[in-house]
Amino acid sequence: MLKRISLRVLRRVLLIKASGEGDEMEPQDPSPEIEVYKAVRAHELELNRATAGFEHAVLTPLFLLNGGALVAFLTLLGAVSPEGPISIEISSARTASLLWAVGLLVAAMAAYCGYRAQQHLSRAERLRRQEVERLLTISEGLKNIVAKPDSKSRTTKKEIEKAGKWQFAYGIAIGTSVVAFLVGAVMGASSVQLL
C-alpha cells in the first residue's frame, strides 16, 4: 500500500512537518497519496486500540470468575456452622480456594503477557514505519528527527518473534486460569456435603 505513495509528495510533507512550517495552514486539496499515508497511520493506531480492547474483554471474565468464586466460597465457609445441615471437607475446600487464587494470579500474568506482546508488535510496526520514513527523507538532519535510529539496534523481525513468544505465554496463562477455575469449582462442589 505504501509503494503507491509518491515519494516526492511524502518528502514534501515530512520536510514541512519537520521545519514546523505549514502547521497553521492545511492544503486546499490534499493529494490521494497523503490521504493514503494518513489512513495507514490511522489504521496503526486503531489496531492498537482494538487489541487492547480485546485483551480487556478476555481478561475481565477470568478475574470475575476466579475472584468471585473465591469470595463466594469463603463466604459460604464462614456461614457454615458446625451444627448446621451442611458440612465442609476441609482439604477439598483448601484446594478449591488455592486453585481460584492461582487462577487470579495467572489471569494477572496473562494481562502482563498480553501487554508485552502488544508492546513488541507496536515496536515492530513503528520500526517498519520509521524505515519507510527514513527512506523518504532527504537530509540526514531530517532523518534523525523523523525516524531516529533505535540505539538497541532492534529489528522488526526480532520484535515480531518476541511478540509471538509473549502471545504464546498469554494463551497458556488464559488456559491455565480457566482450568484453575473449573477444577476449583469441582473441588469446591465436592467439599460441600449435605448431612
What's the confidence (pLDDT) of residue 41? 77
Q: Measured between alpha carbons, how far is 76 from 171 in angstroms, rounded to an integer?
A: 32
pLDDT values of the chain reduced to their tens digit, one per residue, 195 residues: 344 455 555 566 555 555 555 455 554 566 666 676 677 778 778 877 887 787 788 889 999 999 999 999 999 888 887 888 888 999 999 999 999 999 999 999 999 998 898 888 888 888 877 777 666 665 565 555 555 555 555 688 898 899 999 999 999 999 999 999 999 999 999 999 887
What's the confidence (pLDDT) of residue 137? 60
**Nine cell digits for residue 60:** 475481565
Q: Does the model's pTM come out above 0.85?
A: no
For residue 40, the surrounding DSSP H or E stretch is helix 32-79
What's the confidence (pLDDT) of residue 2? 42
What's the confidence (pLDDT) of residue 105? 96
Q: Where are the domains of the chain?
A: 52-194
Length of the chain: 195
